[in-house]
Chains A and B, each alone.
Chain A
Amino acid sequence: MSPDDWILDIQNLFIDYRTKRGNLHAVHDASLRIRPGESVAVIGESGCGKTTLAASIVKMLPLNADIRSGSITYKPRKGKSVSIHSSSEQTMRTLRWSEIVMMFQASQSSFNPVTKIYTQFLDTARAHRMKLTSQQVLKRSRELLELVYLNGDAVLNSYPHELSGGMKQRTLIALSLLLDPQLIILDEPTTALDLITQKRILLLLNSLRKSHNFSMIFITHDLGIVTQLADRVVTMYAGAVVEDSPSSEFFADPKHPYSVGLLRAIPKLNAAFEHLYSIPGSTPDLVRRIDGCLFSPRCEHSHDRCLREVPQLRSVGGHRLAACHLYEEVTV
C-alpha cells in the first residue's frame, strides 16, 4: 500500500449552513484522505462539523447546506475517479450503498418497520441491479447474517421490531456488505448500544474490514471505541481538521492543544484523577468567526501569532499533521 494510493480525497472543503443569523461555517477548510483498507476515526465535540463532513461524502447534506468550495473525489475499485461534489443525483444513487455505505446515527431505525427483513435485502439487491436471482440473493444474505453471528433464516423472516438493538445493528452491517462496498461510513455507530454489545460489534467490524477489504470512517466522541478500532485519528474542532495522526501515536503523544485537552477531559477506568480537567471556555460561535486560530480563546499556549493568523494543517513529523503554531513545519 503506497501512501499515494487513496480511495477518497477531500481537499480544502468549506460547507456553510444558511441560518437566520447568517451563514454558519460548519466545515471550514477540511482536508482528509482515506487509503484502501484503512480505518479512520473522526473525533470532536458536538457541533464541530464531523457529521456534516460525513454527509457531504455521500452528498446527503440538508437542503440549507452549501458546499462553498473545495473538492471531494472518490476512486471506485474499477473505472475512473468520480468528483462527488459535482456529480448528478443519478450517479450518486448508484454509488450509495454499492460503493459507499453511510450508516447514520441510531441506524437501528433505518429499517422499514412494516416489511420483513428479507424483503429489505431483496429490495436493496434489486435497486442496485444485482445480477442474481432472488434465491441467490437470499442465500448470500443468509451467509452474511451468519457472519455477524445471527441466525440467518430467523432474522430474514422477522420484522425489525422483533429484533433487539444490537441485532438490528448487526443486521444492518450484514445488509451493508451485500453489495461489497469499498467504503463504510459510520456515524456514532454504537451510541444506542450497551458496553458489551458495543465491544462485540467493534471487534466484528474490524475482522470484517480485513476479510472483506473495505475502508471505514467512523465518527464518534467515544475515545474508547477509537483505541480499539482506528488506524488513524482525525480531530476536528469548529469545522476544521486540527490534527491527523496514527492512532497509537495520537494516544501516546497528542500534538494539538485541543487533542491534549480532549484526552484529559475523559475519565478512564484505570487512570488516576489528577490529570482530569475540563477545557476552559466553550465552543465558538460558527456564524461570527474570530480572526486567527479558533481554539486560541481556550488555549493555554495561545500567543500573538495565534490571534492574527489561522494555522494551516501541516506535517509535524512522521505521518502526523497538526494545525498549530506551536509546531514548525517539518519537511521530510
Chain B
Amino acid sequence: MSLIEVRDLTKTFPYKNSTVTILRGINLSIEEGETLCVVGESGCGKTTFGKILAGLHSCSGGSYRYDGQEVNTFTKKQSVSFRRNMQLIHQNPYESLNPSSMVFDMISAPLKHHRKIRNFSELYRETAALLEMVGLTPVEDFIDKYPTYLSGGQRQRVSIARVLSMNPKSIVVDEATSMIDTSMRISLLDTLKRIQRELKVSYLYITHDLALGRYFAWEHRLAVMYLGQIVELGPTPKLIGDPLHPYTKAILSAGDIEGRESYDLKGVDIPSFHALPPGCSLSPRCPQMIEGVCTVTEPVLSDIGDGRWVSCHLYREE
C-alpha cells in the first residue's frame, strides 16, 4: 500500500458564472521514503495539486487516499494525525515566517502543542537538535535570531526545521528554492535529501526547473504535467535520458542539451483552460500529431513497462 494514492483526481474552481477545471484526472502514488518530482510550466496546475495533497484544498472528484484512508472521509482524530504527518514547505521564506517571533519560538511552538513538551530545557534540546539537522550551526548563532537577520537560504532552513518538528511522514515542497540565491540552492536540496535518508520521509517536489528536478529526484521518479494532466511519469534517469511524450521532448529540447536533436512544438501559445482543444490537449502544438486520432480521442496515462507511464497515442498498444 502506498502512502499517497491519487486516482482520477479532479479539481474544479468556480469562474464567473460557470466553472473551470484545473486538474483533469490525476493518477499517481507515492511510497514511503520516496520523492516524486512534478515538473510543469506556470499555470499548469502543479501548485493546486500540491495544495490538495497537503490538505489545503479538497478535491472535486476522484479519490485521494493517505495511508490507505480516503482523505474526504477522515474523522476528526484521523484528520489531526493527517495534518501532523503531511507538511508543506512554502515557496517564499520571506513571507512564511512570522517576523516578530524568534527562531526558537517558531520551532518550539509545534513541539509544545503537538508533542506536549513543556519543560524548557527539553524544548531547547529538541529545538537545537532540529536546527542542527537542517544545518543551522552553530545553533547558538541562530536560535535567538529574528527572521530579518537571516538570509533566504537560512530562512528556508528554519521553515524546514519547523516542519520537521512535527515528525511528518511526507512533505510537499513547493518551489522551495526559487526565492533563494542560485549559489545556495544545491546545499539546501542536499539537506532535504539527507533528511530523507535519515527520517524516511516522502517528498512531493514541485518545480518548473527541470534541471533542479533532475538533480533532486535522480534516484526517484519524475512526473511531467501539462494543462492539468500528467503526460509522462517514470524513473528520472529514464525520463530525462529517453523522453517519450512529445511535450517532454520539447521541454528538454528547450533546455538546450547539446547533442540532442532539437524538437519544437508548433505555434507559440498554450491553450487556455477555458477553451481546451478536443482530443489530446497537446494536439494543436504537437509535431507528431495523428490526424483523426489525436484531435478526437483523449489519450490516457498508460503503463508501458519499466515503471514508465505515458499519455500519448503514439505509444498506445494496438
The docked-state distance in angstroms from the alpha carbon of A269 to that of B257 is: 7
Asked whether A312 is an interface residue with its Cβ less than 8 Å from the other chain, the reply is no
Does the CB pair A194–B42 fall under 8 Å? yes
In this complex, how many residues of chain A approach chain B with their Cβ under 8 Å: the count is 36
Q: Interface 1/0s, chain A 190-206, versus B by CB < 8 A? A: 00111111111000000
Does the CB pair B183–A278 fall under 8 Å? yes
Does the CB pair B269–A270 fall under 8 Å? no
Q: How far is the CB of B232 from chain A (nearest CB, A)?
A: 15
Q: Give B178-233 interface residues, CB cut-off 8 Å to A.
A: 181-188, 190, 208, 210-212, 214-215, 218
The docked-state distance in angstroms from the alpha carbon of A200 to that of B270 is: 13
Does the CB pair B257–A270 fall under 8 Å? yes
Q: Interface 1/0s, chain B 238-257, versus A by CB < 8 A? A: 00100000000011101111
Q: How far is the CB of A260 from chain B (nearest CB, A)?
A: 11
Does the CB pair A268–B211 fall under 8 Å? yes
Does the CB pair A195–B268 fall under 8 Å? no
Asked whether A130 is an interface residue with its Cβ less than 8 Å from the other chain, the reply is no
Does the CB pair A278–B187 fall under 8 Å? yes
Q: Which residue of A224, A268, A282 contacts B153 across the interface (Cβ within 8 Å)?
A: A282
The docked-state distance in angstroms from the alpha carbon of A6 to that of B229 is: 51
A-B contact count (CB 8 A): 93
Q: Which residue of B185, B188, B260, B272 contacts A164 across the interface (Cβ within 8 Å)?
A: B272
Asked whether A116 is an interface residue with its Cβ less than 8 Å from the other chain, the reply is no
Does the CB pair A261–B181 fall under 8 Å? no
Asked whether A276 is an interface residue with its Cβ less than 8 Å from the other chain, the reply is yes
Does the CB pair A164–B186 fall under 8 Å? no
Does the CB pair A196–B265 fall under 8 Å? yes
The docked-state distance in angstroms from the alpha carbon of A46 to that of B258 is: 28
Asked whether A265 is an interface residue with its Cβ less than 8 Å from the other chain, the reply is yes
Hey, which chain B residues are within 8 Å of A149, CB to CB?
268
Q: Which residue of A195, A221, A276 contacts B254 across the interface (Cβ within 8 Å)?
A: A195
Does the CB pair A262–B183 fall under 8 Å? yes
Asked whether B101 is an interface residue with its Cβ less than 8 Å from the other chain, the reply is no
Q: How far is the CB of A294 from chain B (nearest CB, A)?
A: 14
Q: Interface 1/0s, chain A 21-65, versus B by CB < 8 A? A: 000000000000000000000000110000000000000000000
Asked whether B41 is an interface residue with its Cβ less than 8 Å from the other chain, the reply is yes
Asked whether A167 is an interface residue with its Cβ less than 8 Å from the other chain, the reply is yes
Most buried by A among B181, B252, B257, B259: B181
Asked whether B78 is an interface residue with its Cβ less than 8 Å from the other chain, the reply is no
Does the CB pair B183–A197 fall under 8 Å? no
Does the CB pair A265–B42 fall under 8 Å? no
Q: Which residue of B151, B260, B268 contacts A166 across the interface (Cβ within 8 Å)?
A: B268
The docked-state distance in angstroms from the alpha carbon of A192 to that of B185 is: 20
Asked whether A307 is an interface residue with its Cβ less than 8 Å from the other chain, the reply is no
Most buried by B among A166, A267, A282: A267
Chain B residue nearest in CB terms to A273: B215
The docked-state distance in angstroms from the alpha carbon of A193 to that of B272 is: 15
The docked-state distance in angstroms from the alpha carbon of A224 to that of B251 is: 13
Asked whether B159 is an interface residue with its Cβ less than 8 Å from the other chain, the reply is no
Given contacts A195-B255, A198-B254, A273-B218, contact A166 B41 (CB under 8 A): no
Chain A residue nearest in CB terms to B41: A194
Hey, which chain B residues are within 8 Å of A192, CB to CB?
42
Does the CB pair B41–A282 fall under 8 Å? no
Hey, which chain B residues are within 8 Å of A269, CB to CB?
210-211, 214, 240, 252, 255, 257
Chain B residue nearest in CB terms to A279: B183
Q: Interface 1/0s, chain A 273-298, versus B by CB < 8 A? A: 10011110011000000000000000
Q: How far is the CB of B297 from chain A (nearest CB, A)?
A: 24
Given contacts A45-B183, A278-B186, contact A196 B250 (CB under 8 A): yes
Asked whether B154 is an interface residue with its Cβ less than 8 Å from the other chain, the reply is yes
Does the CB pair A278–B185 fall under 8 Å? yes
> 19 additional contacts, CB 8 Å, given A224-B256, A269-B257, A270-B257?
A45-B181, A194-B208, A195-B251, A195-B254, A196-B250, A196-B254, A196-B265, A200-B268, A221-B182, A224-B255, A265-B183, A269-B252, A270-B260, A273-B218, A278-B184, A278-B188, A282-B153, A282-B184, A283-B151
8 pairs of A and B residues whose beta carbons are closest in the complex: A194-B41, A278-B187, A279-B183, A267-B215, A199-B254, A45-B181, A195-B254, A267-B211
Query: Can you list 30 A-B pairs with a CB-CB distance of less than 8 A?
Result: A45-B182, A46-B181, A164-B269, A194-B270, A195-B251, A195-B255, A196-B251, A196-B254, A196-B265, A197-B268, A197-B269, A199-B254, A199-B256, A200-B268, A227-B256, A228-B256, A262-B183, A265-B182, A265-B183, A265-B184, A265-B185, A267-B211, A269-B211, A269-B214, A270-B260, A276-B215, A277-B187, A282-B151, A282-B154, A283-B181
